[in-house]
Amino acid sequence: MYRQISHQREDRIFYADHETRLCRIRLIGNEKGLCGLLLDTGTGRRSFAVFDDWIQNTDFFSGAARQLSEYFEGKRKIFDIKLNPRGTDFQKRVWKELRRIPHGETRTYKEIARAVGNEKASRAVGMASGRNPVPVIIPCHRVIGSSGHLTGFAHGLAVKERLLRLENSGTPYTAWEEQAARRNRTSDFETRRPKQKTEKGPACND
């Protein structure tokens, strides 16, 4: 569940939208770190709302936005961004292991399962990867099937392929590709609305 906002700054959840060469992204976080990164890929399979208790603050995310722009331009391989995603102990172990996959390389779900101490937990690793609230920075797109084929990615396999192509070639998207992508997609981002009691989404640790 989303935290209720108190009068203390560290309890407030901030957000900001930022245009990148891949797509528009939404950053969500608090004083303890970045809690969520949403990709507006326009797949139409999901929607992301801004809730009434979130505070828009572009300056708060200026450093993260700059690093992400550099990444999508092929100029950055390692992120130096403080993270604060909420998850189970197992999910956090998987996410930590994902961050150890070097830029331009891939690992299989089985390899990640082995690294977290249970070689038979490939399916659980896949589920934890799918619940990654900070894609790109926690690079779940670098995990592939044992056959070498691309498998599940919450934002679509086309986006996963583009991220891997960017990292392998170091070549950013062309202006034509950017314009075409923006013309051909609808937004997954909703306008501000009240939060329903049963809704879940990117949440920050206490």
Q: Which of 94, 51, 90, 6 is nearest to 200 (CA)?
A: 51
H or E, element range at 56: strand 54-56
Sign of the Cα pseudo-torsion (169, 44, 48, 101, in order): negative
Q: Residues near 106 by Cβ (< 8 Å), separated by ≥ 6? A: 142, 143, 144, 164
Q: Which of 23, 35, 140, 204 is catalytic?
A: 140
Task: Assess whether the region 9-81+173-193 and the region 89-169 belong to the same CATH fold.
Answer: no
Residue 35 annotated to the active site: no
* CATH class as words, domain 9-81+173-193: alpha beta
Q: Per CATH, is 89-169 categorized as 3.90.230.10? A: no
Domain locations in the chain as residue ranges: 9-81+173-193, 89-169
- 31 CB-contact burial (10 Å; exposed 0-12 / middle 13-18 / buried 19+): middle
Q: Return phi, psi of residue 177, to 5°.
A: -60, -40
Sign of the Cα pseudo-torsion (153, 176, 179, 186, in order): negative
pLDDT average per 10 residues of sequence, the chain (206 residues)? 42 92 92 93 67 93 96 94 96 97 95 94 94 95 87 82 88 54 54 49 61
